[in-house]
Structure 1
Amino acid sequence: MSASKLEIKFLGTGTSQGVPVITCDCDVCISDDPRDKRLRSSIAIKKGNTQIVIDSGPDFRQQMLRAQINHLDALVFTHAHKDHIAGMDDVRAYNFKAQKPMEVYCTDLVFENLKREFHYVFDEAFQYPGIPRVDRIRIDKSEPFKIGEMTLVPIEVMHYKLPVLGFRVDNFTYITDANYISESEKEKIKGTEILVLNALRKEKHISHFTLEEALDLIEEIAPKKAYLTHVSHLMGRHKDIAKELPENVSFAFDGLSIKST
């Protein structure tokens, strides 16, 4: 593994609805604690001069402005649910600044969905200067791939019946939208020092790890540090639920920045 440190920024740590949820007046949604304000899940990873973002949901524009990300080498997609791809149109700003297409890394399944959602990007009949320009690069889930100074190892997890990719970069692993990971894919995670894992709520869910399930997996993998993301308002207020966690586990929050060890 490379000795160069990774810089990781949590751009969003919420669910598909975000937190607060529209029309909800629960204690979490009306909280004035900024840690309880969660945009849709996404992270930025920087290594040397290379910077990528994993997933561009509906809040992508807001996240890029808030994090002051003025240079972006690539978008990497975990899966094609709307809360993870909806903001791809806003790569236009990076096209204009860099004067080149944005590299977009995804599986064939995700690409088929991107072509439906953003038909005007890929259909030659709709081509004109104002649309996003992207270069799609295929991810083979069984093969690591390089983006600039980073090597990413795909990790296939299951989101109910939908295959989703997590990614390991050096000693950092990011997994969102999962409720099952096979033993063979867990082998790719073992030895990681920093693990980010989804934990939706305490109650059982059909397609996401609960808090208990996430903590059990973290105990099995045994990273030095773990962060929980894709957190619902049903989990509770950050200041309260943080007290329930083991010493090496924290709830991530929007704007949190960490570095690999």
Structure 2
Amino acid sequence: MKVKFLGTGTSQGVPVITCQCEVCKSLDYRDKRFRASIHVEVDDKSLVVDTGPDFRMQMLNASVKNLDAIIYTHEHKDHTAGLDDIRPFNFVQKKDMPIYGRKQVLEQIKTEFAYVFSDKKYPGVPQIKAIEINDAPFEIGGTEIIPLPVWHYKLPVYGFRIKDFAYITDTNNIPEETLVLLKNLDVLVLNALQKAPHISHFTLEEAIEMAQKIGAKRTFFTHISHRLGMHDEVEQSLPDGIFLGYDGLEVVLN
């Protein structure tokens, strides 16, 4: 199983338009962050979690030639806006793209991409098969996916567990019943927005505390704001076994 970080940035990405802070002006490639997304290769399947505004460049940069399904954490635009760019996969694979999400996510996608679901479709629009999920585990090509309910302030969001890997972004509240599903992880990916308190995301300190509570062998932080600081400086301050994710990072699970 291999996980590639397609994007590790917050909703504005890094650098932020017009910003002149040291992070946004950094020449370190690890300080350049697309919107949060991952590519998972598991059991001969190719999966993506979330298609933000940078989806096209993420697919090109990662040289993804085949995509079996897309799984959505929630309906915010920085996680859905790139959906139209699945069209080349439709063309090459000659089939609809399965997309998985809770009811409210799929309804939002059907509103924002109404032309995709119209009875009279314009030629060449994305071909999509929308599949509703809930808290119950589901399968993609025989691989079990376990939804991980968390809260993004008052918005319900899903993380996902695949084998001994778990991905949770856009949260500041992981319920106890979800923590039970996070035992015995090899790798955990968790959001760590910034150092200052935030209404709907873990701060760096909160993310470290939660990572240590969950106790995965390795934890990587994502959904990172320019306000967190320089990648190199922040990572040096982290406890053993906890790292900052960065765009292009590949993590292999045995």
Q: Is the 8 A contact 1:49 1:149 kept in 2?
A: no
User: In the TM superposition, what are the counterparts of 1:95-106 in structure 2 within 5 Å?
Assistant: 95-106=90-101
RMSD between superposed Cα atoms in Å: 0.7
Tell me, in whole angstroms, the C-alpha distance in 1 between the residues paired with 2:107 and 2:176: 28
TM-score (norm 2): 0.99
User: Match for residue 9 of structure 2?
Assistant: 14
Q: 1:253 aligns with which of 239, 246, 249?
A: 246
1:150 maps to a residue whose letter is T
Tell me, in whole angstroms, the C-alpha distance in 1 between the residues paired with 2:163 and 2:108: 29
Q: 2:61 aligns with which of 63, 66, 86?
A: 66
User: In the TM superposition, what are the counterparts of 1:54-93 in structure 2 within 5 Å?
Assistant: 54-93=49-88
CA drift of 1:128 comes to: 2.5
| Residue 2 of structure 2 is aligned to residue 33 of structure 1 | no
How many residues align? The count is 254
Q: 1:135 aligns with which of 117, 121, 129?
A: 129
Tell me, in whole angstroms, the C-alpha distance in 2 between the residues paired with 1:87 and 1:106: 15
- Secondary structure of the equivalent of 1:186? helix
User: Match for residue 3 of structure 1?
Assistant: none
Runs of 4 or more above 6 Å deviation: none
Deviations 1:3-41 (A, max 9, x none): xxx100000000000000000010000000000000000
Q: 1:185 aligns with which of 157, 160, 178?
A: 178
Segments of structure 1 that go 5 or more residues without pairing to the other structure are: 1-5
Q: Is the 8 A contact 1:172 1:193 kept in 2?
A: yes
Segments of structure 2 that go 5 or more residues without pairing to the other structure are: none
Tell me, in whole angstroms, the C-alpha distance in 2 between the residues paired with 1:77 and 1:129: 26
CA drift of 1:184 comes to: 0.6
Tell me, in whole angstroms, the C-alpha distance in 1 between the residues paired with 2:123 and 2:142: 31
Q: 2:37 aligns with which of 22, 42, 61?
A: 42
2:14 maps to a residue whose letter is V
Q: Is the 8 A contact 1:75 1:104 kept in 2?
A: yes
Q: 2:214 aligns with which of 215, 221, 224?
A: 221
Tell me, in whole angstroms, the C-alpha distance in 1 between the residues paired with 2:133 and 2:30: 33
Tell me, in whole angstroms, the C-alpha distance in 2 between the residues paired with 1:28 and 1:124: 47
Percent sequence identity is 50
Tell me, in whole angstroms, the C-alpha distance in 2 between the residues paired with 1:49 and 1:242: 33
Q: 2:193 aligns with which of 192, 200, 221?
A: 200
| Residue 172 of structure 2 is aligned to residue 158 of structure 1 | no
Q: Is the 8 A contact 1:47 1:149 kept in 2?
A: no
Tell me, in whole angstroms, the C-alpha distance in 2 between the residues paired with 1:49 and 1:199: 31
1:84 maps to a residue whose letter is H
TM-score (norm 1): 0.96
